[in-house]
Amino acid sequence: MCDRYECTLSPEALKKAVEELNEPQDNDARLAAIDRLRARFAEEAADLELIRNDDAFILRFLRVRKFNADKAFNTLVNYHKQRKEWREVFDGVDDPKLVEQLLQAGAIVPLRSGRAKDGSFVVIGRPGLGFNESNSMVQFITCLVLTVEKLLEQEESQIYGFTIIEDMSNFGLSLAMQMASQGKKFLHVIQDCLPARVKSVNMVNEALVFDIIHAIISQFMKEKMKKRLTLHGSNCKTLHEKIDGTHLPFFLAGSGPDLSPDWWAGEIMSSEGDGEDTAL
């Protein structure tokens, strides 16, 4: 195989990967693990076809499961099964034009600069923003998956993970009902399929209707996810304990720049299908 993976991580990121993710420091050992996972998928998941066969793609699944071969294999299989089974979401992942309106409205936008205090990449969601009769919670989930997969092209996001903020100001009864019906599948994708380390999920400005939905979908949350979920209400001071307010926009009681929906929509649309890295 040509164009084998070569590690370009910073010394700090590599140290974190070795210590926290059990990643081999030796590249030959890293490549051997990639080859074993690729070969096992071909042998034991013959009914599925890898959407990408390159080392960098396979490596994501090893990192997210701390180089545990069985867990990485299960996640890789789950990911490809969901791509086949939940076409409502992955049609939009494959063709971002289907959710371009929500992206341009700023329903999902990562911070362009600044990270959480633990080094994780920050993604801000505003479910309900930019929705109309043709939009749905499924399309919001599509935007989130699109954003995470785009950010995963940056290796450091695979190492440091993600901090998710959900501003629930626009989350009404209609979306709540949709979330109640889609919540189990959504949590399966986040917890068992995507090769992304979710370090924390933070809900702000959540209303009573969300508390009801939370009670329904929390039964599908793994204990690790439950521990990483924080309901902040309108108290952004507790949110600032995780993310410095100088990085956050005004609507999150921060002093940072406004979000840049046009920039992020442009990044998603311009890189459609090219698999290139995004510079943040």
How far apart are the C-alpha atoms of 55 and 4, rounded to whole Å? 6
Of 56, 51, 66, 68, nearest to 18 (Cα)? 66
Local structure of residue 18 (DSSP, 8 states): H
Same domain, 214 and 80: no
Specify if 4 maps to a domain: no
For the cut 70, the answer to whether the pLDDT of residue 280 exceeds it is no
Specify if 172 maps to a domain: yes
Specify if 278 maps to a domain: no
Same domain, 96 and 172: yes
Tell me what pLDDT residue 269 has. 93
Specify if 279 maps to a domain: no
CATH classification at residue 24: 1.10.8.20
Residues β-bridged to residue 121: 162
Domain count within the chain: 2
Determine the structural domain holding residue 219 and report its residue range. Answer: 88-270
Same domain, 147 and 245: yes
Q: What confidence tens digit (pLDDT) does each residue in 88-132 have?
A: 999 999 999 999 999 999 999 999 989 999 999 999 999 999 887
For the cut 60, the answer to whether the pLDDT of residue 278 exceeds it is no
Same domain, 81 and 93: no
Domain end position, chosen among 24, 59, 85:
85
